[in-house]
């Protein structure tokens, strides 16, 4: 009878250590060694890096589209205003035009990046170079737009 009871899971026992503290102890007496489950390796997860890169590139393109819309609206407002000094007008128009040109260049690079498949070894180096160039153009555009916001004045 002792063997039958030793293979069963004992119920929680209560041990009163003080008047207010109760400690519950659960004991498993089965002869199974405790094993931890392994986490799946990245190779087991069926993750497609190309799909991730494509989604990231589309997100960058949407950011550029929003920024292009904002800059086009700023340029339209700038042209419609007649009470701006000629120097401020030229500076703002040049900065906005340069920003729009950089955004169009980044859009063309993003279009190229979407067409590349990083799962193919022969396209991986080209995709890396295109991604570096896109990052540089977007960083330059962002810095340029900071100057536009700071020095462009209120239209």
> Which tens digits make up the pLDDT trace of 50-61?
888 888 888 888
Mean pLDDT of 31-55: 68
To the nearest whole percent, how much of the chain has pLDDT over 70?
Answer: 68
Return the bridge partners of 24, or none. Answer: 14
pTM of the entire predicted model: 0.63
> Which tens digits make up the pLDDT trace of 71-97?
999 889 888 887 888 888 888 889 999
Q: Domains of the chain: which residue ranges?
A: 48-151
What's the confidence (pLDDT) of residue 143? 94
């Amino acid at each position: 009878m002792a063997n039958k009871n030793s293979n069963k899971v004992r119920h929680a026992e209560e041990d009163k250590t003080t008047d207010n503290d109760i400690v519950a102890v659960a004991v498993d007496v089965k002869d199974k060694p405790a094993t931890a489950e392994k986490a799946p390796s990245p190779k087991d997860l069926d993750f497609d890096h190309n799909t991730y890169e494509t989604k990231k590139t589309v997100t960058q393109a949407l950011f550029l589209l929003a920024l292009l819309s904002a800059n086009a609206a700023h340029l339209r407002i700038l042209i419609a205003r007649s009470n701006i000094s000629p120097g401020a007008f030229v500076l703002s128009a040049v900065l906005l035009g340069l920003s729009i040109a950089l955004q169009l260049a980044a859009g063309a690079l993003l279009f190229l990046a979407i067409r590349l498949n990083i799962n193919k070894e022969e396209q991986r180096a080209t995709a890396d170079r295109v991604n570096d160039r896109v990052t540089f153009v977007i960083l330059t555009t962002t810095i340029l737009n900071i100057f536009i916001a700071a020095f462009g004045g209120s239209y």
